[in-house]
A = this chain, B = another copy of it.
Amino acid sequence: MNIEISRLSNGLTIVTDPMAQLESAALGIYVNAGTRNEVKRVMGVSHMLEHMAFKGTERRTARDIAEEIEAVGGFLNAYTSREQTAFHARVLKGDVALAVDILADILTSPTFDQTELERERQVVLQEIGQARDTPDDIVFDYLQSTIYPDQPMGWPILGDDDTVSGFTQSDLRDYMGANYRAQGMLLVASGAVDHASIVRLAEEKLGRLRGGAIPQPLPARWGGGDMRKDDDLEQAHLTFAFPGLKQTDPDFYALQVYTTALGGGMSSRLFQEVREKRGLCYTISAFAQSASDSGIVAIYTGTGAAEAGQIAPVVAGEMEALATAPSEAEIGRAKAQLKSGLLMALEKPSNRAEQIAGQMFSYGRVLSPEELTARLEEVDASAVRRIGETLMRSERPAMTSLGPVGALESYDTFARRFGGAVSMRAAE
User: Which residues of chain A have a CB within 8 Å of any CB of chain B?
Assistant: 20-24, 54, 62-63, 65-67, 69-76, 90-92, 118-127, 129-130, 132-136, 232-235, 237, 265-267, 271-272, 275-283, 302-304, 307, 329, 332-333, 336-341, 343-344, 347-349, 403
Contact = CB atoms under 8 A, between A and B. Distances in A.
A73 B341 contact: yes
B126 A23 contact: no
Given A66-B272, A234-B132, A347-B348, A24 B72 contact: no
A234 B133 contact: yes
Nearest to A275: B123
A266 B90 CA distance: 14
A341 B23 CA distance: 12
Contacts of A20: 21
Among A75, A90, A232, A349, the one with the most B-chain Cβ atoms within 10 Å of its Cβ is: A75
A120 B76 CA distance: 41
B266 A66 contact: yes
B340 A91 contact: yes
A123 B343 contact: no
Contacts of A272: 63, 66
A140 to B, nearest CB: 14
Contact of A122 (B24, B279, B283): B279
A284 B356 CA distance: 32
Given A24-B347, A267-B63, A279-B119, A126 B70 contact: no
5 contacts: A54-B266, A69-B266, A126-B280, A132-B234, A132-B235
A246 to B, nearest CB: 26
B70 A127 contact: no
B302 A122 contact: no
Number of chain copies forming the complex: 2
Given A91-B340, A121-B279, A302 B63 contact: no
Contacts of A134: 134
B73 A133 contact: no
A133 B134 CA distance: 7
B126 A303 contact: yes
Given A92-B343, A122-B279, A130-B234, 7 more contacts: A23-B347, A73-B337, A73-B341, A126-B281, A126-B282, A133-B403, A348-B348
B63 A340 contact: no
Given A63-B272, A129-B302, A348-B347, A329 B279 contact: no
B339 A282 contact: no
> Which of A20, A237, A276, A304 is the most central at the interface, judged by chain B CB atoms within 10 Å of its CB?
A276
A58 to B, nearest CB: 19
A131 to B, nearest CB: 8
Nearest to A342: B73
Given A73-B340, A336-B70, A133 B135 contact: yes
Nearest to A67: B267
A232 B233 CA distance: 11
A72 B126 contact: no
A232 B232 CA distance: 10
Given A21-B21, A348-B348, A62 B276 contact: yes
The 9 residue pairs across chains A and B that have the minimum distance between CB atoms: A73-B340, A122-B279, A73-B336, A66-B266, A127-B282, A66-B267, A132-B234, A119-B279, A126-B282
Contacts of A136: 133
